[in-house]
A and B are shown apart, each in its own frame.
Chain A
């Protein structure tokens, strides 16, 4: 069955440290892949997306993600965490033959310690 999994419901890093948030999908055909961020009491903001082409995708706020087909992964990284990065992060997929539905992972809450 097709699914999207985020490993780790809560990740805590120190300010200035590397941020790594994991996302894996389960599908024989790679989906379109997205990362969204949600700050408390706000809607979702798109960080970046992968559809086709270059597998390393750069997004806003210094985030990037790499699509690895062999590992069925789309992990989100940022070299140096900032306090303002503390938020909930959702990986989302859209299966290639679907009608636009985004399927979200369960989310990872990122905490940044001073």
Chain B
């Protein structure tokens, strides 16, 4: 299984809602990533989890809260988002995030619209 799955595919939420994005991989990868991609722009790194610990937070607002319940799962909890947070949210995984280079496998993304 060389797949990263993300649910839901699409999400529409109001600014007062709380929702969660889910990412799953069964490749035994120990590093998992959240990226945000605005239209016609490259992905921007948000968070990195390495061995289920948050290792990088790229100064992301606290209305985005990541969680790594186990080595296969990565969640992104959303609360009180703004319309400018509308974007494609991509999850990725790699064998590890250390100095050994491993390519990142990306999921199909969740298209988020904040009204």
Q: Do A and B bind?
A: yes
The chain A residues found within 8 Å of chain B, CB to CB, are 32, 34, 36, 41-46, 49, 51, 90, 94, 96-97, 99-102, 104-107
Whether the pair A34, B107 counts as a contact (CB closer than 8 A) is no
Contact of A44 among B43, B48, B98 (CB under 8 A): B43
Contact of B106 among A43, A49, A97 (CB under 8 A): A43
Known: A43-B108, A44-B90. A99 touches B45 (CB 8 A): no
The chain B residues found within 8 Å of chain A, CB to CB, are 4, 6, 31, 33, 40-45, 48, 50, 55-56, 90, 92, 94, 96-99, 101, 103-109, 111
Whether the pair A43, B45 counts as a contact (CB closer than 8 A) is no
Q: How far is the CB of B38 from chain A (nearest CB, A)?
A: 12
Q: How far is the CB of B98 from chain A (nearest CB, A)?
A: 7
Residue from B6, B92, B103 whose CB has the most chain A CB atoms within 10 Å: B103
Whether the pair A102, B45 counts as a contact (CB closer than 8 A) is yes
Q: Give the tally of cross-chain contacts (CB within 8 A).
A: 60
Contact of B101 among A51, A90, A101, A105 (CB under 8 A): A51
Contact of A100 among B50, B90, B108, B109 (CB under 8 A): B50
Known: A99-B97, A100-B94. A44 touches B45 (CB 8 A): no
Q: How far is the CB of A48 from chain B (nearest CB, A)?
A: 9
Whether the pair A101, B45 counts as a contact (CB closer than 8 A) is yes
Q: How far is the CB of A102 from chain B (nearest CB, A)?
A: 6
Known: A34-B103, A90-B42, A104-B43. A99 touches B109 (CB 8 A): no
Complex formed: what's the CA distance from A73 to B2 in Å?
30
Residues on the A chain within 8 Å of B55, using CB: 99
Complex formed: what's the CA distance from A32 to B44 in Å?
18
